[in-house]
Structures are given as C-alpha cells and as structure tokens.
Chain A
Amino acid sequence: MATFALELRTEEIPANALPGARAALADGLGSALAEAGYAGLEVRVLSTSRRLIVLVDGLPARQADRSERLTGPPVSVAFAADGRPTKAAEGFARKAGVTVDRLETERTDKGEYLAVTVVRPGRPTAEILAEVVPAVIGAMRFPKMMRWGLGDHLFVRPVHGLVALLDDEVVPIRLFGVASGRTTTGHRVHAPAAVDIPSAGDLVDVLAERGVVVDPAERRRRLDRLAAELAAGAGCRVHPDDELVAEHVELVEHPGLLRGAIDPAFLELPSEVVVTTLRAHQKCLILEREDGALAPFFLAVTDRRDDPADLVRQGNEWVIGARLADARFFFDEDRKRGVEALVPGLERLEFHRVLGSLAAKAGRVGELAAAIADRLGLAVDGSELRRAAHLVKTDLLTSMVVEFPELQGIMGGHYLRLEGADEALWTAARDHYLPSGFDGDIPSSVIGRLLGAADRLDTLAGLFAVGEIPSGSKDPFGLRRAAQALVKIVAESGWALDLGAAAEGAVAGLGELAGSAPADTAAALRDFLAERVRRYLTDRVGVGGDAADAVLAAGWADLPELVARARALDRVRTSPEMRALGLAFKRVKNITEGAAGAAVDPGLFSQPEEGELHGASAEFAGRLAECVADRRFDDAFAAMGELAEVLDRFFVEVLVMTDDERVRANRVALLTGLRRDFMTIADLSRLQIDGGNQ
C-alpha cells in the first residue's frame, strides 16, 4: 500500500477561503478516486496560509481491474447465411479487443444480440493520480479568483511549487504552469531554503521541522494553549472570540501569539470601541478580568515562533496605541459635535437608490411608529417618536460608526446617554436594531420597540415595493431576518397589532414610492409576514407545525393571542378527542363548503342526534365566547373536545345529504354554525391525524 502526498505552494491565500477550499478538495478528490475504483480511502486535506496539502494513505499500486459488459450488433446481422461472421461481428470483436469466437449472445427484449464481458486491467495508481489531481484542482472555485504574470492561469493566488509523491516516486503533474517534483521550502523566516522530500510520508514532518504546522487543528490547539498561558501570565483570561481565533488559525504557517500592553487610559472608552478597534483593525484578542471588565492587554497572532529582538511586540503595541488613539480622537470629535447637529446630515445618507435618503426613511418610520402607538393606545408622545426616529439613526454619521459599521446603534446609545438623554431614548438608539431575526432580546424601552418595529416595517414595505422580494436563498437585504425581528417584537411586547393592516399602513406610508400596485405589494408582504409568524410559532414558541397551521387559519391579527391559542392547542393536539375532532371537522368543512350561515330550525329535526348536537353546540358557543374573552384557550379547547363524541354520533347516525332539500339545508346550517364557532380559534382539519405528532 502506498501513500500519496501533494503540496501546492502558493502566495498567501485569503483566510476565509481556506476552510471551504479544504472541504472542496477533500470532496472532489475523494469522489474522483472513488469513481476510478478506489474504495474506502480517506482523503486528508491540510493547509497553511501558503499551501494546500493532500494526503492519501493505503493506495494500492494499481487501480483495481474493472470488468465491463459490452453489447454489439443483433445476431441477425452478425452472421451471414453460411454462419460466418459478418463485418459487423468482426468490428465489434475488434472494438472489444477479443477474437470473434469469444463473443457471446444475449437475449434482450428486442431480440438476440452479440455481447462480451471484457476486463479492463487496472492502470498504475501514479497514472490515475496524474490524471485525477490536475482535473480536481483545476476545477476548484474560490469566492474571488485572480490571474497573475502573463495572465494564463486562474486560481485564488499565484502558485509557485508543486510536490506530488507516491511514496518516493514523483507523480508527474503540471498545474498552473508549474511542474511537480519533490522540492519545497520551509517557513519564510525560519527555513526559507529549498528542501527535498524523500517520500510522501515525510512531507508533514519535514515541514514541521522547518517551522510549518500544516494541520489547522494542530495550529488551533497550539493557539488556544498559548492564549491561555499568556492570559494566565497577566492574571487574566481571554475575552472570548471564537470566530477570530478560527481566523488566526488560517492566517499563519507557524502559530505564534504574543501579549502586548495597552495604555490603561484607553480603557475609559466604551468597551465595545476598544474591542472592535482591536478586532477589526488588528485582529487582536483582548484580555479581561474575572468580572468581565477589560484588562489592558492584547494578544496578537504572529507567523513565527519567537520575537528575537522584541521588535514584534513593540511594533504591535505601537500600532494598537495608534489605533486606540485614533478611536479616541473619533470619539472626542463625535462628542464635541453632538447628536442633534447630525440630524440634517441624514439627508446625505442613502437608504436605497429608489427609496431615497435615511432622512426620508426616518420620517416614514416616525410616522409609522406614532401610528402604531396610537392604534395600541400606548402612552408615548407622537412628536417625541418622530424626533427619536431621526436621533437613533444619527450615529451612522459619526466618525466612529463610519469607521466601524458594526457599532451602529451601540455608539448612538453611548452618545445620547453621555448627553443626558432619557434612558428610554438612549436605550432605544442602542437596541432598535435588535433582535437579529429571532435571536436576542427585544428592545427594553417602548420607544425602542416601536422604532424597531416601524423601521423593519418600512424597510420591508419599501423593498417589496421596488421588487426586492426574497426568493429561494436570495435575500440580499436580509428581509427574512427583518420580518422575524418584527414578529418577535410584536409578539413579545404583547401588542395586539394586526400585522396585515400594519403592512398596508407601511405601504401607504411610502406615498408615491409605493409604485403602481400598492395593494399587491401589501398582499405580498402580508403573506411573507404570515410565513414568518408560522416560523415564530414552530421555532420559538415550539408548537407543532400542524397546530401552527390550525391556529393561523383562524386568524393572526393579534399575535400574543395567537401564541396563547397555539400553546393551548399544542398541548392537546395529540389527544384522542382532538384526533377525532380533526377528522370530524374535515367532514364538517367538506359538507359546509360554500354554504352561507342560516338559522337552524329545530322543528325540522327528525333524529335525536340532531337535537343533541344543536344543544351541545349552543352551549359550546356560549362557553367559547367566555373563554376567548378571558383568553382561557386551554378551557376553550377542552370545551371543543367535549363535542367530539356528540359530533361523532351525529355523523354515524345522521345522513346530512338527504334527499329532502329542507332537512338537508337545516342540517348543513347546523354544521355551518359549528364551523363558524370552531374557526374563531382553530381550523382543526389542519391537525395531522395519521400517526404523526408533527
């Protein structure tokens, strides 16, 4: 059994491209080898910032022999009248590489045909690799590809070296104008000289001796260990940032980490500013104390094993100091200018090419928020909301947020707080982008919730109006997330806000921007929101999909009420009564389809079950009304459940579709009334009865 090792040496590959490249290469090569008849092989793909490495153990020296059944011409044309083979038979034999006497006949639906089984002897594995590897690597695609030099090749970065060894033999390959061999180089600083790899199994160790740790998992372990040691050395722990450490792993060939000091005076800046400055500009981790407060130390990743002249630490400390001084400059400048002075500048910020500036958007959001507050009877001053809608967006114009867009909202909150704004206002600025989809808490203040909801409604209405409706995986404006956040805010604020009507209001609020078919836009948005509401019920409230469908079908103009209904139904949806009712209600719906409500005439009853159902229905209607008024939906569904038996008996004993038209109409009217009452809380026909709980 042989080992194959491949090393593609490149210039620095973008960190974010590497995990995908490893997966794609492992997949591509694995399936190409499987197709060539190599079963059960593990293709390991490793990488550093400057190389992609493939290792395959347990390769046989030759590809397995493969037999193939070939079908030739019909027997009728294969032999002449005298039984001698015709040209057709001879041609087939030649093609198959056998003599005519080895040809067999095979009976098929269409008649008898010549056939033969040929064995294709396996070829040397090196030959197969020389075909498969260039094909797979040549087909690799990266988020951003480039050309270099004379411009003949396309890859993620220029390629400089290619090692391809099957045990100690070079597999002859050419990729991107580079021929394979056994020569590579070590780490750029620690071992830049050329070195020959004796055999495939030596590649990883030879590189390790030369300062290159090729296994990302090993680099991760070492970085984690170093971080823990360096933090402990300063009596601190690492402010966790898994995503950043994962990036560090991809940035280097040798995992190095150093601790540097920060001037403690910078820690007077808001902690988000310090963390973001270090993270976004310098990809540095920061240390924190036991209590979570930031400590004046950072950890910087380095691509080397030492810092012989202490220059690397000094350099990083200088840069961090400069970056933080720059951030403090921005912070002080923003503070000096003040929040109010920024409002006119919103005119210059584009929200959307067609939908206009952020000032225009803030105007619409203020109106929408005020309208919602009004509809809900919330004790919030409309003019204050209109003003707040502008103020919470002003941080987009501050130097700090221009520099760090991820601090939007957070900076607005800080600046307003430091200017002595009401807590309700500054927390609204901070929180109105929350939650992100269903994740995270809703804003703490009523103003924050109103602005957060109105902002999403306006964004959704506007983008729907200009045709930017998400489809499939395409959702460039994150509208699904926006709609989820809206649903969550409304549901968890306890607002009886009809989202369908709110969507109409938001589209109307667009004025001329709403386009030529505002009713269609509002309808599309309403459907989109309904889907998010369903998601909210299944993913966040945790009810079964069928229960969600059942309660949604009975209306969703009041989300908190809907949630309560859904919870109540979900608790009983698998009970025997509900299963029976689900089936019975399907019949009720079928029978009463298209029927208008009509008064029931007990005088026309001819069977006791009719009277029984009529009485039970009336009693149920009364109880239901009380339960709904008090939002006691558990009781409502319990009352419904009590009807199961009566309804069952009715269907067993009574033929609704009788020939007597008056009797039939009366029976339909009885069921229509029942349907109307049921449908005030749920459409039980949506419950999944057959075996499934889901």
Chain B
Amino acid sequence: MDLQSMILDLQRYWAARGCIIQQPLDLEVGAGTMHPETFLRVLGPEPYRVAYVQPSRRPADARYGLNPFRLGRHLQLQVILKPSPDDVQELYLRSLEALGVDPAVHDIRFEEDNWESPTLGAWGVGWQVLLDGMEITQFTYFQQAGGVELKPISAELTYGLERIAMFLGRKQSIYDVEWGGGVRYGEIRLADEREASTYGFEVADVEMLRRHLEDWEGEAGRCLDHDPPLVMPALEATLKTSHLFNLLDARGAVSVTERVGLIGRVRRNATRAARAYVAQREALGHPLLGAE
C-alpha cells in the first residue's frame, strides 16, 4: 500500500467514526499536537472528533537525506477523540485493518510511553503501539494542555506515516517508499531534505531568527492583551515563535541557560492563549455541547 492510499484509507475510516477531516495547519509546527484542532479543541467541555495530516518540522532531526530513517519534515496523521470513548483501543485496532494489517496474524502491544510538551504546558499518559516490534502510533490520553486540567479527556492517536509505510512495504529507506502513482518518496522529498539540512544547520541567519522571535512573541502578547483576546492570531504567533526557537536550536545558537528561558517564554503565551480560548468558548455558550 502506498503512502497516499494509507492517508486516504485512514481518513475514510475515521470519517466513518464521526471525525471531521481537517486540513493541515498552514504554519510550520513540530507536531500535529500544535494544530489548534488539537491544542485548543481538547480544552473545555465540548465534544469533538477530528482527523488530519500534519507535516511536522523538526529542523534538528534533519540528516541531509543521508539517514534512511530520519527526516527533518515528516507526516503525522493525527486523530482526536473527545471524550475518549470506552472502545478507543478497539477503534484504533480496527483502523489498522484499514491499512491492511490483520491483528489476528500480528503481534500488537501497547507499551507505556507518556508524553509531555514543556512549550505547550501539556502532558498526557499513554503508550507507543508496537506492531511486530515496530512503533507505529503514539497513543495519548491528554491530561493537561496550556496548563489547564482537561475534562473531559481526549484520546490522541498519532500515526507516523512514513515509518508505517516503510515497515509495511519492508523498505530499507524512507526514500524508497512509494508515495502514489508509481512515484517514490525520495523523488518528491529528497532534495528538500538536503536543502532543509543545509539551511537549518549552516545557513539560517541567527540574528534574523532572533529578531523575528522577539517580534512574533510581542505580537502574540498584543493579540492576548487585545479586548477581547484574539485567540487564534495569538496562538499562530506563538507557534511561529516555537518554530523559530527550533530553528535557532538546530543551528546551535541557543545556549544552555537561554534554552529554559526561551521555552518558558513560548509556554507563557501558549498557556495564555489556551485560557483565552476557554473563556471565548464559554462566552459563546459552548456551541458544540449537545452536538452529539
């Protein structure tokens, strides 16, 4: 099964289980969790089900296209089920059948793997799901986001698409995975990976990145100080600062002491945006309550 068929089949599967099929956030983020469809929607009492693909950028993980297993930008398929249903594990296992994996002839295990994001003030408990020893999904029950205790609790499923495609196709390199229509992953992405590595490790203008980080941090603050707070613009500005931090970090420009401080600065705006969102939904009268 090629990469795009996996995406299509998983989306169809989750759409049939009541998920809205969202589109990727049109900003650079490190993980699907940062998409407001996860980070904000898990807050407050309103039920929600959503699935989307999120290209996730991790500048420090780039390897000039030389490492067959690691990418500076990879694809996550993210599913949020709020509240987490009683049969969430069974729902998940059946989603694997959509990928042509028959649990009856495989070994599938859930091994403890908890998740924490200091930049988002978020943490959860859960597992990595192993298929015949291969980690194919992060499965997390969100406990807190933006420093806010969650109730109800959302289940987050994150499929690492390239890894799964590689594993199911028994490919020795990500770049050999078939994307679709007979075109290989490497034919589409290899050149970007090389360039992104050169840019991230050698070329990125540190002074410019720092300036922009300051600017967007200030902008996030202005949006949050606005009356009423502008939740989405504030979060987007904060996500930009998070990505700028990642670029600086990959470039080796963040000193030890600075690091903790910068993460704290991003978190401050992320948690403020989260609280503003909670207030905004309350003011709107929680329109999605009773939607189920």
Tell me the A residues contacting B by CB distance below 8 Å. Answer: 11-12, 14-16, 49, 144, 146-151, 157-158, 160, 188-189, 251-252, 256, 282-284, 300, 302-304, 307-309, 311-312, 314-316, 318-320, 322, 325-326, 329, 345, 347-350, 353, 356-357
CB closest residue in chain B, given A309: B105
B13 within 8 A of A: no
CB closest residue in chain A, given B110: A12
Contact size range, B: 35 or more
| Shortest Cβ gap from B149 to chain A (Å) | 9
CB closest residue in chain B, given A16: B112
**Is the pair B106, A315 in contact by a Cβ cutoff of 8 Å?**
yes
**Which one, B63, B132, B256, contacts A311 given CB within 8 A?**
B132
CB closest residue in chain A, given B112: A14
Kindly name the residue among B111, B127, B132 whose own CB sees the greatest number of chain A CB atoms within 10 A: B132
Show 19 residue pairs from A and B whose CB-CB distance is below 8 angstroms, ordered by the A residue: A14-B112, A15-B111, A16-B112, A49-B109, A144-B125, A146-B153, A150-B153, A151-B151, A158-B86, A158-B141, A251-B111, A312-B105, A314-B132, A314-B170, A315-B134, A319-B167, A325-B172, A353-B260, A357-B256
**Is the pair B167, A315 in contact by a Cβ cutoff of 8 Å?**
yes
A474 to B108, CA, bound (A): 39
CB closest residue in chain B, given A146: B125
List of B residues within 8 angstroms of A302 by Cβ: 107, 109
**Which one, A149, A256, A347, contacts B83 given CB within 8 A?**
A149
CB closest residue in chain A, given B131: A315
**Is the pair B86, A149 in contact by a Cβ cutoff of 8 Å?**
yes
**Which one, B69, B107, B260, contacts A303 given CB within 8 A?**
B107
A144 to B103, CA, bound (A): 29
| Shortest Cβ gap from A281 to chain B (Å) | 9
Q: Mark B118-139, 1 if CB is under 8 A from A, else 0.
A: 0000001101000111100000
CB closest residue in chain B, given A157: B125
List of A residues within 8 angstroms of B280 by Cβ: none
Q: Mark B63-105, 1 if CB is under 8 A from A, else 0.
A: 1001111100000000000011110010000000000000111
**Is the pair B89, A350 in contact by a Cβ cutoff of 8 Å?**
no
CB closest residue in chain A, given B259: A350
List of B residues within 8 angstroms of A325 by Cβ: 68-69, 172
Shortest beta-carbon contacts, A-B, top 10: A315-B132, A14-B112, A350-B256, A151-B151, A12-B110, A316-B133, A146-B125, A302-B107, A309-B105, A319-B133
A357 to B259, CA, bound (A): 12
**Is the pair A353, B69 in contact by a Cβ cutoff of 8 Å?**
no
A353 to B256, CA, bound (A): 8
**Is the pair B127, A319 in contact by a Cβ cutoff of 8 Å?**
no
List of B residues within 8 angstroms of A350 by Cβ: 256-257, 259
A598 to B234, CA, bound (A): 83
**Given A315-B131, A315-B132, A326-B69, do A160 and B106 touch, yes or no (CB 8 Å)?**
no
CB closest residue in chain A, given B106: A311
**Is the pair A11, B109 in contact by a Cβ cutoff of 8 Å?**
no
A356 to B252, CA, bound (A): 17
**Given A312-B107, A318-B170, do A149 and B256 touch, yes or no (CB 8 Å)?**
no
**Is the pair B134, A147 in contact by a Cβ cutoff of 8 Å?**
no
**Is the pair A147, B106 in contact by a Cβ cutoff of 8 Å?**
no
| Shortest Cβ gap from A569 to chain B (Å) | 49
**Given A14-B112, A189-B103, A318-B170, do A349 and B256 touch, yes or no (CB 8 Å)?**
yes
CB closest residue in chain B, given A15: B112
**Is the pair A318, B125 in contact by a Cβ cutoff of 8 Å?**
no
List of A residues within 8 angstroms of B67 by Cβ: 326, 329
Interface residues of B in 142-171 (CB under 8 A from A): 143, 150-153, 155, 166-167, 170
**Given A11-B89, A282-B133, A329-B67, do A150 and B112 touch, yes or no (CB 8 Å)?**
no
**Which one, A49, A189, A283, A347, contacts B104 given CB within 8 A?**
A189
A183 to B204, CA, bound (A): 61
**Which one, A16, A147, A307, contacts B143 given CB within 8 A?**
A147
| Shortest Cβ gap from B187 to chain A (Å) | 21
**Which one, A12, A150, A284, A308, contacts B109 given CB within 8 A?**
A12
**Is the pair B107, A348 in contact by a Cβ cutoff of 8 Å?**
no
List of B residues within 8 angstroms of A353 by Cβ: 257, 260
CB closest residue in chain A, given B166: A322
**Which one, B107, B125, B131, contacts A304 given CB within 8 A?**
B107
**Which one, B111, B141, B252, contacts A148 given CB within 8 A?**
B141
List of B residues within 8 angstroms of A348 by Cβ: 252, 254-256
A322 to B160, CA, bound (A): 15
CB closest residue in chain B, given A281: B135
| Shortest Cβ gap from B107 to chain A (Å) | 4
Known: A146-B124, A151-B83, A345-B252. 8 other contacts (CB 8 A): A148-B155, A150-B152, A151-B153, A160-B86, A189-B103, A318-B170, A325-B172, A329-B69
**Is the pair B132, A312 in contact by a Cβ cutoff of 8 Å?**
yes
| Shortest Cβ gap from A394 to chain B (Å) | 15
**Is the pair A300, B125 in contact by a Cβ cutoff of 8 Å?**
no
CB closest residue in chain A, given B101: A311
**Given A146-B141, A148-B141, do A322 and B127 touch, yes or no (CB 8 Å)?**
no
A322 to B133, CA, bound (A): 11
| Shortest Cβ gap from B41 to chain A (Å) | 15
**Given A309-B105, A312-B132, A348-B256, do A147 and B69 touch, yes or no (CB 8 Å)?**
no
Kindly name the residue among B69, B85, B132, B133 whose own CB sees the greatest number of chain A CB atoms within 10 A: B133
List of B residues within 8 angstroms of A150 by Cβ: 83, 151-153
**Given A146-B125, A319-B167, do A356 and B256 touch, yes or no (CB 8 Å)?**
yes
**Is the pair B170, A12 in contact by a Cβ cutoff of 8 Å?**
no
**Is the pair A320, B110 in contact by a Cβ cutoff of 8 Å?**
no
**Given A146-B143, A319-B132, do A311 and B105 touch, yes or no (CB 8 Å)?**
yes
List of B residues within 8 angstroms of A11 by Cβ: 89, 110
List of B residues within 8 angstroms of A326 by Cβ: 67, 69-70
**Given A144-B125, A147-B153, A151-B150, do A308 and B256 touch, yes or no (CB 8 Å)?**
no
**Given A151-B152, A353-B257, do A308 and B107 touch, yes or no (CB 8 Å)?**
no
A149 to B67, CA, bound (A): 40
A326 to B134, CA, bound (A): 14
List of A residues within 8 angstroms of B111 by Cβ: 12, 15, 251, 283
**Given A12-B110, A148-B153, A149-B85, do A315 and B143 touch, yes or no (CB 8 Å)?**
no
| Shortest Cβ gap from B239 to chain A (Å) | 25
| Shortest Cβ gap from A379 to chain B (Å) | 36
A302 to B104, CA, bound (A): 13
List of A residues within 8 angstroms of B104 by Cβ: 189, 308
A608 to B275, CA, bound (A): 93
CB closest residue in chain A, given B104: A189
Q: Mark B199-232, 1 if CB is under 8 A from A, else 0.
A: 0000000000000000000000000000000000
CB closest residue in chain A, given B113: A14
**Given A151-B151, A353-B257, A356-B256, do A12 and B133 touch, yes or no (CB 8 Å)?**
no
**Is the pair B132, A147 in contact by a Cβ cutoff of 8 Å?**
no
A398 to B289, CA, bound (A): 51
Kindly name the residue among A147, A312, A316, A357 whose own CB sees the greatest number of chain B CB atoms within 10 A: A147
CB closest residue in chain A, given B126: A146
A347 to B108, CA, bound (A): 43
Kindly name the residue among B69, B107, B125, B152 whose own CB sees the greatest number of chain A CB atoms within 10 A: B107
A326 to B110, CA, bound (A): 23
List of A residues within 8 angstroms of B105 by Cβ: 308-309, 311-312
**Given A12-B111, A308-B105, do A147 and B141 touch, yes or no (CB 8 Å)?**
yes
| Shortest Cβ gap from B87 to chain A (Å) | 9
CB closest residue in chain A, given B87: A160
List of B residues within 8 angstroms of A14 by Cβ: 112
**Is the pair A300, B133 in contact by a Cβ cutoff of 8 Å?**
yes
List of A residues within 8 angstroms of B112 by Cβ: 12, 14-16
CB closest residue in chain B, given A329: B67
CB closest residue in chain A, given B114: A144
**Given A12-B109, A325-B69, do A319 and B134 touch, yes or no (CB 8 Å)?**
yes
List of B residues within 8 angstroms of A319 by Cβ: 132-134, 167
List of A residues within 8 angstroms of B66 by Cβ: 329
**Is the pair A149, B152 in contact by a Cβ cutoff of 8 Å?**
yes
| Shortest Cβ gap from A316 to chain B (Å) | 4
